[in-house]
Structure 1
Amino acid sequence: MTHLHFFIIGALLSLATPLLVAMETCPASGMPGIPGIPGLPGRDGRDGVKGQKGEAGAGSRSAVGPQKGEKGELGMMGYPGKRGPIGEPGEAGVPGVGGAPGEPGDSGTVDVHQVAAFSVARGTDDYPEKNNVVRFTSVITNIQDDYDTETGHFRCRVPGTYYFVFHATLDDRLCVLMKLDHTLLTQFCDHRKTRRQVTAGSMAVYLSKDQEVWLETKDYRGMRGGLQGYSIFSGFLLHTH
């Protein structure tokens, strides 16, 4: 039985109820009937048509705020970053302005300052004094009088490296010391006792200005000779520094 059938039955029962009540008032009417069964709920109706769009509300749109805020305060300095790669060399700058001329140097003669040499002889039959400076009194070459025949000392005028050499004629044992400002540079000794012979010694040494070099005897001093047998002491500048 469908819902429609129940609906019809319910409607008929609702119409019959007042009739039964009217019959109840009549003395000759019968007993009231049994109430009918309630009808089933009806189905939902179909969706209605969509309504039209409503009108805009009465409220106004809020104003747009500023586009950019004010600049904030400077923050604290951060830690140094890593060193970046080395850039390419830049172009050469414009040459600077030339400096002022320097003060004039001391006057002098180039040839005099760059040349130094001497060669002196001892042509006497007397032995030199023991433990004393050997004086060579006969001058062969003595540029600017760098060798002093009175003291027996050579004084450096041009700083640089010098070469000194001596040749001695002797008839007895001989020990000769070469000194620089009372400091022993070296010694040359010949301990052979003979009638007549020649010995020699040499060395190169650096000298500063005003330093002095000379020869000095020790225990053995057999240096002697006449006009035919000189003892010679020489020195010359190799190069300046």
Structure 2
Amino acid sequence: MMMSLAAALGFLMLASSVGSVVSPCPAGLPGVPGFPGKDGRDGRRGPKGESGPMATTLHRSLKGDKGDTGPQGPLGKNGPKGPAGAAGEKGEQGEMGDTGSPGDHKRQYQSAFTVARLTNEHPVKNSPILFTREITNDHKDYDVTSGKFRCRIPGQYYFSFHVSHSANLCAALYVDGQAKASFCDHMSSAVQVASGGVLVALEAEQEVWLALNDYNGMIGTEGNDSVFSGFLVSPQ
């Protein structure tokens, strides 16, 4: 151990003496700069900073300028129907329109006749009296060959007769064979006039006629007419 230390000390002393004798070399030129190194790895996330001061009222209330109007968007769907509004005020009366063309109401609901008997022969007893001369019978509702009126329009009808007679007379108005009213007149002069009338309700196709019983003294001559009439009062 002692020998190793002594050897080391001797070596150091020898080096020191040699260095003091040799003159130092001049410094070399700087080397070429090296290439930049690669970026280092991201550092660790730092701690959360403290909250900044609250903005003043002035800074918060400032508002920027209004921007330009944008383009119109597409039309939306129709909304639900709203409630009906209140009725408006009554408008002024309009001008009278043109006269319309004639309708057929009157023609459709017309039924009337008056017929006369021109003969001195007394009618057949208990049979429809034949009134053969038509005074009014536009729709031919009264048949001069059968002595019967046939109902074409249901409704209320009025029938009447005014007859001349040279003998006792009893007349009756029949509807489908059923007497509805009867009238009698007994002679007190050479020629007399008897009359009567009745309102009846008829259905379509019902028949009406005038007939005499055993007292059948009806005549029909010029100046002593015998007539039978009927007309529709109101349709059903």
TM-score by length of structure 1 reads 0.54
Per-residue CA deviation, residues 130-180 of structure 1 (Å, 9 max, x unaligned), is 222111000000021000000000011111100100000011100111100
Q: Which residue of 2 aligns with 1:138?
A: 133
SS in 2 for 1:143: coil
SS in 2 for 1:144: coil
- Alignment partners' CA distance in 2, 1:114 and 1:232: 23
Give the alignment of 1:184-223 within 5 angstroms: 184-223=179-218
SS in 2 for 1:200: strand
Give the alignment of 1:1-20 within 5 angstroms: none
Q: Which residue of 2 aligns with 1:236?
A: 231
2:223 is aligned with what amino acid? Q
- Alignment partners' CA distance in 1, 2:161 and 2:128: 14
Per-residue CA deviation, residues 13-38 of structure 1 (Å, 9 max, x unaligned), is xxxxxxxxxxxxxxxxxxxxxxxxxx
Structure 2 residue 171 is matched with structure 1 residue 176:
yes
Taking only aligned residues, the RMSD between alpha carbons, in angstroms, comes to 1.8
- Alignment partners' CA distance in 1, 2:140 and 2:189: 36
2:206 is aligned with what amino acid? Q
1:188 is aligned with what amino acid? F
- Alignment partners' CA distance in 1, 2:127 and 2:189: 23
- Alignment partners' CA distance in 1, 2:188 and 2:121: 17
Q: Which residue of 2 aligns with 1:19?
A: none
Q: Which residue of 2 aligns with 1:61?
A: none
Q: How many matched pairs?
A: 136
- Alignment partners' CA distance in 2, 1:171 and 1:165: 20
Aligned 8 A contact 1:190 1:199 in 2: yes
Structure 2: gaps of 5 or more residues = 1-82, 85-102
Structure 2 residue 153 is matched with structure 1 residue 158:
yes
Aligned 8 A contact 1:124 1:224 in 2: yes
Q: Which residue of 2 aligns with 1:42?
A: none
Give the alignment of 1:64-75 within 5 angstroms: none
Structure 1: gaps of 5 or more residues = 1-92, 95-107
- Alignment partners' CA distance in 1, 2:235 and 2:221: 37
- Alignment partners' CA distance in 1, 2:231 and 2:119: 24
1:113 deviates by: 2.4
Q: Percent identity?
A: 43
Q: Which residue of 2 aligns with 1:116?
A: 111
- Alignment partners' CA distance in 2, 1:229 and 1:192: 15
